[in-house]
Amino acid sequence: MSLRVLIVEDEFFIALDLQDQVEDLGHVVTGIARDVGSCKTCAEEQPPDLALMDLRLANGSSGIDASRWLYEVLGVRCIFISGNLDDEAREVLSAVEPLAFLGKPILKHQLGRELSRCRDRLVRE
């Protein structure tokens, strides 16, 4: 089973790399968003199974706010990606039931392992 993955990342080249990795791993990218507004639009147009979510987004917006909206409105959970995943951030994010946390840079084998675990977890739920 392939997953439908929304990528929420404001750095263009990182987003493209993530798209390539996700697709190489056999999953489908439903969209790429750079801020909360585009995240909402993409998710409403093509609902994902999960989102790869950066914590700091374009236009001063927050991955925390985007993930909260995805979780509360669509029931979509996230794999959080960031160079700054400290204990405080993890505590704040616990409310949206994160699927996983990955530090940057994202390596394909790490992403593949987490997507497989998430797929298995989502199927069981």
pTM value is 0.94
Helix axes 12-24, 108-124, angle to 10 degrees: 60
Tokens of 105: 């840079």
Please list the residues that pair with 77 across neighbouring strands: 50
Q: For every one of its 125 residues, what pLDDT tens digit does the chain have, with 9 covering 90 and above?
A: 899 999 999 999 999 999 999 999 999 999 999 999 999 999 999 999 999 999 889 888 889 999 999 999 999 999 999 877 777 777 888 889 999 999 888 999 999 999 999 888 887 77
Domains of the chain by range and CATH?
Answer: 4-124 (3.40.50.2300)
